[in-house]
Chains A and B, each alone.
Chain A
Amino acid sequence: MSRALGPFAAVLGRDLLLAWRGRADVLVTLAFFVVVVCLFPFGVGAEPNQLRAIAPGVLWVAALLSTLLSLHRLFAQDHADGTLEQLLLTPEPTVLWVVAKICAHWIATGLPLLIVAPGLALLFDVEQGALGVLVLSLALGTPILALLGAVGAALTLGLRGGGMLLALLVLPLFVPVLIFGAGAVDAYLSGSGAQAHLLLLGGGLLGSLALAPLACAAALRIAVE
């Protein structure tokens, strides 16, 4: 087991270091999230009750879009410079370093969203108690987006116009996550409790953690062939 942890840690550490060295990309994704969220009050008007009602949905759609924006970066550079070939030739299971890459990607792009989301929710006058539910739903939901998105990114690797195809491929898969993520906050606000929604998101996370890396590994093998 400890032997398998070496490559996992190596890939995780390297990708986090790369995210730090290329932090402009990470900041652009975060700025996109903030700007998209801030555009809505201009579009729908600044009526407080209306803003309160649309806040969970707006924040979730914006999180989903900014995740989508950064997905193509997940494997593209490694594919172009030959690192992907070398990783596929390591004796350890492919799934192992695929999970490490997705983890690093989520830490660099998903985690910042969690941190700024409560502040943005306050702009929409979301009540204090619902902020915790919102962050929790994002904490469970954005890793699912990263895992499902990674499969799409691997499948469209090296294709011309891969970016648009990636969006078409993964956006429908994101729908259930969006429904239960935004639904969790709505359920809390309506008084029926967010537990059911959060449990479903948790189940979705475990399911995608078990299956998405396998699909991703298979797609990467095809992409280098």
Chain B
Amino acid sequence: MLYANDLACVKGDRPLFRGLSLRVAPGDLLRVAGPNGYGKTSLLRILCGLAMPESGEIRWNDVPVNRDRESYHRSLLYLGHAPALNDLLSPLENLRFACASGGDKVDEDACIDALVRIGLAQQLDLPARVLSQGQRRRVGLARLFLEADRKLWILDEPFTALDVAAVADLTATLSEHCAAGGMVVLTTHQDAPFAKAPTVLDLAEVAC
């Protein structure tokens, strides 16, 4: 279970939010909402440990994450704004590296299946620099099919640049993950067709 208590975030001199608490239990899908510039991405980066909150604490299974970073990051999958693709490598090489560097055993066939499923069957061996924005996005999202073992998914704008069919497939995957006891925290400006309406955390309510 992910639990954050009394978080505050300051960007430069400007406070973004204060007194933010949240709780994500197994099966929960939390959507972080709010206008641009209200700190959605900052909140996600704080939650996954890339940035430090001004104050407050984050607990994973009742242990503060800065005390046991390793087990927290073993359960966490974060997909940020940047797709973490190297232009000189093919989608397959990028995906295999993403899994292997995270310490996960990866099977080449499983990687190929994931890329085919997300609609990149024709682009497996092309260098990533020739892919379109939507296709680049999909390479990162293909990890979701491989890493269901990681309980907590934190996704920053996962639907950006995707077409309607891909959005539907992705929401189905997220719902499936939650149904299997996983947890998802995401930001999006789009209305995605979730089977069960997600819990919404509106940052405008805690803005300073």
Contacts and interface: CB of A to CB of B under 8 A. Distances in A.
Interface residues of B, number: 30
The B contact surface, by secondary structure, is loop
Interface stretch (A4-12, A145-153, A158-166): A4-12
A89 interface: yes
Interface string B72-85: 01101010111111
A29 to B, nearest CB: 17
Contact of A86 (B49, B51, B88, B98): B98
Given A90-B101, A97-B101, A82 B73 contact: no
B50 A7 contact: no
A83 to B, nearest CB: 5
B48 interface: yes
Contact of A91 (B70, B83, B88, B89): B70
Interface in B97-117: 97-98, 100-103, 105
Given A22-B88, A82-B84, A89 B76 contact: yes
B88 A21 contact: yes
Contacts of B88: 18, 21-22
B152 to A, nearest CB: 11
Interface string A48-78: 0000000000000000000000000000011
Contacts of A90: 73, 101-103
B185 to A, nearest CB: 14
Contact of B50 (A11, A83, A224): A224
Interface of B: 48-52, 69-71, 73-74, 76, 78, 80-89, 93, 97-98, 100-103, 105
A3 B80 contact: no
Contacts of B89: 14, 17-18, 21
Contacts of B98: 86
A225 interface: yes
A18 B89 CA distance: 8
B102 A82 contact: no
B150 to A, nearest CB: 10
B103 A85 contact: no
Contacts of B102: 7, 86, 89-91
Contacts of B87: 81
Contacts of A21: 88-89
B57 to A, nearest CB: 17
A14 B82 contact: no
